Every structure is written in structure tokens, then in C-alpha cells.
């Protein structure tokens, strides 16, 4: 599946402020939440609705309603937590799982340390959350873990993606649709996205 990037003036505007090194922690968090809402909106364009009979103040009618229990949001810790409030403001009844990973600074490979998801996760469509798709290692490992649990429908939401990471994820998991706010230029020698926005986790949590 071809990656879907949100090419929109409002998204670029918010990303510009997000990228700025002078943007403070509070505003950074708020922008991550807002952009995540837009990503969630785009990711649910193909959502199936159940026909439901309701009564408006004027008359009875049949209209579509989303079965929110059919979905689960799974942030990749820790930076993915910054996106969670945004997507939950759109689909508040979705279940939540967590996948814990950190990057080995010598090998640049992801190290898994935590995995906890709803017990019936295989029945749900899972929306993976991680602000940065750099090498693609964390995304691939997270998708592998979910598929081992029997999950058949997975989407991946990120703020910024590198072409190198997109390529490997698309090759390894062609059935997973990726949504991002921007596809940046490249990875540098230290495997950080350029021009990027720095370390998303550090900027969300104010740890640097």
C-alpha cells in the first residue's frame, strides 16, 4: 500500500511550529495532539458504519454509527504516548495497548521491553502510533508482535517519516497502511530524520 501523506496547508503550518527548536514543551505536546487528530481522521476514511435508527428532534431516521469497540490504539513507548490523547479525542471508546521499545544507540536496532494489549486484540483493527518512522525497525518489530497475536488489520500513524524507513516497512508489511504528516528527506549518519524535529520523546516529555 502506498503511504498516505497529509499534504495540507494547516498540517504544514503546524509542522513548521513543531519542528522549530524554540517551540516549548507545552506547545509541542499540543501540536502533536492536534496533528494526531488529523491523522486519525484520515485513517478512518474507510471505516465501516453500522446502520442505526435514531430519532432527531424533527423525525426518525437511519444513519451510520461507528462500532468503536472494534478498534485498539497501540502507542509505541514512549513517544507514541504523545499521540494517544489526540486519537482518543476522535475515537474515545477504543481499547488501548502498549508496546515498549528503545533504540540501541550503538546498533540503532530497536530493543523490545514491554508488550501488553487487550486479550481479544486479534478481533480488532489496530492503529499503531509512533511520531517518527526513521529506520523502520521499531515499526516492523511492533507489527510482527501484533501479527503473532493474530491481528489481521493494522494501520500505522506517524508525524514524520524517512524514505528509508518507509521502504523497509512497505516491503516487509505491504498490507499495513501508513499515514504520516510529512515524508522528510533522509536519515543522517546517526539514523535521525532530516530535517526532522529532533527526538520526539525528549521534546514531548521535556527530558532534554
The residues that are catalytic are 103, 107, 199, 202
Peptide bond into 78 cis (omega under 30): yes
Strand pairing class (98-103; 110-116): antiparallel
Give the three-state DSSP class for 74. strand
d(CA 20, CA 132): 16
d(CA 151, CA 145): 9
- Phi, then psi, of 76 in degrees rounded to 5: -90, 120
For cell 498540517, the residue is 11
User: Nine-digit cell at 102?
Assistant: 528503545
Amino acid at each position: 500500500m502506498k503511504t498516505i501523506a497529509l499534504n495540507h496547508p494547516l498540517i504544514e503550518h503546524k509542522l513548521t511550529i513543531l519542528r522549530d527548536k524554540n517551540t516549548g514543551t507545552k506547545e509541542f505536546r499540543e501540536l502533536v495532539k492536534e496533528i494526531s487528530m488529523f491523522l486519525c481522521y484520515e485513517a478512518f476514511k474507510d471505516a465501516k458504519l453500522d446502520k442505526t435508527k435514531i430519532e432527531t428532534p424533527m423525525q426518525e431516521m437511519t444513519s451510520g454509527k461507528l462500532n468503536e469497540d472494534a478498534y485498539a490504539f497501540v502507542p509505541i513507548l514512549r513517544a507514541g504516548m504523545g499521540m494517544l490523547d489526540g486519537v482518543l479525542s476522535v475515537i474515545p471508546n477504543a481499547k488501548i495497548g502498549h508496546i515498549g521499545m528503545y533504540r540501541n544507540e550503538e546498533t540503532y536496532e530497536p530493543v523490545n521491553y514491554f508488550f501488553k494489549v487487550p486479550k481479544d486484540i486479534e478481533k480488532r483493527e489496530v492503529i499503531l502510533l509512533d511520531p517518527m518512522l526513521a529506520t523502520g525497525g521499531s515499526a516492523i518489530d511492533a507489527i510482527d508482535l501484533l501479527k503473532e497475536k493474530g491481528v489481521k488489520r493494522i494501520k500505522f500513524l506517524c508525524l514524520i517519516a524517512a524514505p528509508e524507513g518507509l521502504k523497509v516497512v512497505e516491503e516487509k508489511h505491504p498490507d499495513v497502511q501508513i499515514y504520516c504528516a510529512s515524508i522528510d528527506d533522509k536519515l543522517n549518519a546517526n539514523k535521525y530524520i532530516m530535517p526532522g524535529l529532533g527526538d520526539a520523546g525528549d521534546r514531548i516529555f521535556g527530558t532534554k
